[in-house]
Every structure is written in C-alpha cells, then in structure tokens.
Amino acid sequence: MCNYWVTYRCNSKCEYCNIWRDIKFKNTPDANLTDVKKNLDDLKKIGIKFVDFTGGEPLLNDELPMILEYAKRLGFFIKLSTNGFLYPEKAKLLKDKINRIYFSFDTTSKDEYKRIRGIDGFDKIIESINIAKSYNQDICLLYTATNENIKNISSLIKFAQEKKTIIYIHPCFSYFNNEPLKKENIDIIKKYFWQPYVIINLPQLDFYKKGGNNLMKPRCKVGSSIIDISPDNCLTIPCFHHYIKKIKINNKLFSIFNSKKWNELFSNAGKYKFCKNCTIDCYFGLSYYNKINRYFIKQNLTTIKNLIEIHRTK
C-alpha cells in the first residue's frame, strides 16, 4: 500500500492534527502530475495494489482529478481521505475516479464541529455526504475517537445508520501532543463492533490497549508493505509521521526499491526510540496477518464484518 500525500496545505485546523501548525510542512509544494504519474507507474511495477491519496486536504491540489484518473487507469484501488469542505464543487470531477472516499466526521453538533476542526464546515460535510450518496459513491465516515469526543459515539453511529453509510471508528493515535485513548474508552468502542454500518478494527484496539509497538518485536510494516511519499516527491524515512530524513525520488522509485539502499533505509523501522509504543494504525494493519494468533483471528473477524457492512450498503 502507498500513502501518497499530494499536499500539506489544509483548510481545516483540526485539534488532533499537526500538519497545519508544524513549521516543517510550511511552503512545501504540492505533488505535481508529472512526478505522480511516474511514481504510480513504478508503484504498479513494485506490486502495490492500494493507494490512499491524502494530505493536508488533498482536494486543494488542483491536479488531483487528473492524478486520480491516471491511478484508476493503472488499476489501483483508490482511497481518498478528505474533510469534505471542497467536495461539493469538485464532486462531478471525482465521482468515477475513486473506489472509496473517507469523510472525516467526529460529531453531529454544528458548534462542536467548528471547535474540533477550526472551520465552520458542518453544513458542507453534510452536503458532501448527500452528494456522494447521490452518485452511488462508496463512502465511509471516518470517526477519530478521542477521550473528549468519545461521548459522540452513539449519535454518530445513529447518524450513519440513518444515512445507510459505513462509519469507521478508530482511536486517535499518540502523535505530537495527542493524549492516548484511555483503556475504558477503547472498551466502549469495542461494544459497538456488531452494530450495523459500523467498522471497528479489533486487533488494532487490542494492540493499542496493550501499549502499541514493542521495540524488541516491532510490527511496523513501513518499507516492507507500506510506502509513504511526500508532496515534494520524497520518501520519508522511516515514515511520514516521524521522518528523520527525506530521499528525493527523482523518477527512480522502482530502482531505489530494488536496490540494497532500500533495505538499509528501512532496516530499523519500528526500532527507533520514537517507535516505542507507537499506535499509528496505517503502519501496523498488515502485521496482524503474519501468524496465527489472537491478532490474526480478530483481523479475520474484522474482515468478515467489513464485507458484511460493504454488502449492506449495496
């Protein structure tokens, strides 16, 4: 899988995100179509099946529709993560180019939405959901659960069920100043696993509850199964969230991947000091299939539940 950041710019100021406030992301150019097309060609040759286009707010990149069209032509499963603020004006350009779109949605309260996201965008996200459904777009509401907004879980699930739309509930991971989700709140999330239209990753919650990544037995899959590409056409080493160096791709992604340098770059993934207790879920999901244990069993149960919910929306 590739996490492809097409921009660091964002029109929200979400309280649990640092992209909009961290100086290291300022003045970074957006990903351009020429570089992205070459990288997608190489990702295809490498064997990548899934590409998640993200940001920042990816819809701020004006070349995104052309990027998505090219990615679709290559046969990738395309995911797009967005706050939905710009979606109504761009929906027609996007509707045939995305396999699944994730709308960030953490509250059904207009005032709380403004406080959490720093913009008055509640009406826009509701409009976006309605438009996407009218286009029969495969959509998922992405609820990032925190110790503060866990109180919203039942109202959000009710909203999703009324809209006949999947809601994916995942805990806010420990990153910059985020407070780890309390164990009792993880247990609250688990209680909703069998609710219709609800998707919850059971092994992820167990992993989170047990303290996250163990430096002696790291589960991190960055570099082996996960590739992160930044808007300025770099590999972020070891990962986007904690990179200590950036490697310019320069149209050589495939050759870098097949070189000894690749193994050297990612040999310590999951073993750095900052990897201790990491719970950033996008780097661990594939590890739950490694061997038959409680994670493997719960991951397969989660997969079955996912298929049930996807079928329910058809």
CATH number at residue 285: 3.20.20.70
Closest CA to 148 of 121, 109, 120: 109
What is the four-CA torsion angle of 67, 200, 238, 17, rounded to 10 degrees?
80
**Structural domain count of the chain:** 1
Query: Span 194-214, mean pLDDT?
Result: 94
Q: Which domain holds residue 49?
A: 2-313
Q: Can you list the alpha helix ranges (DSSP code H) found in the chain?
A: 33-46, 64-73, 87-94, 110-117, 122-134, 153-163, 183-190, 202-209, 253-257, 260-266, 294-313
Query: Span 4-15, mean pLDDT?
Result: 92
Q: What is the pLDDT of residue 19?
A: 86
Distance of alpha carbon 273 from alpha carbon 254, whole angstroms: 29
Q: What is the pLDDT of residue 310?
A: 93
Residue 179 — pLDDT band, cuts 50, 70, 90?
confident
Residue 249 — pLDDT band, cuts 50, 70, 90?
very high
Which range (147-151, 156-160, 183-187, 217-221) has the least confidence? Answer: 217-221
Closest CA to 19 of 60, 49, 51, 47: 60
Residue 71 — pLDDT band, cuts 50, 70, 90?
very high
> Is the pLDDT score of 22 beyond 90?
no
Query: Span 90-119, mean pLDDT?
Result: 94
pTM: 0.93
Inter-residue contact 83 to 103 (CB < 8 Å): yes
Query: Span 267-279, mean pLDDT?
Result: 91
Q: What is the mean pLDDT of the chain?
A: 93
> Is the pLDDT score of 174 beyond 80?
no
More confident of the two residues 124 and 292: 124
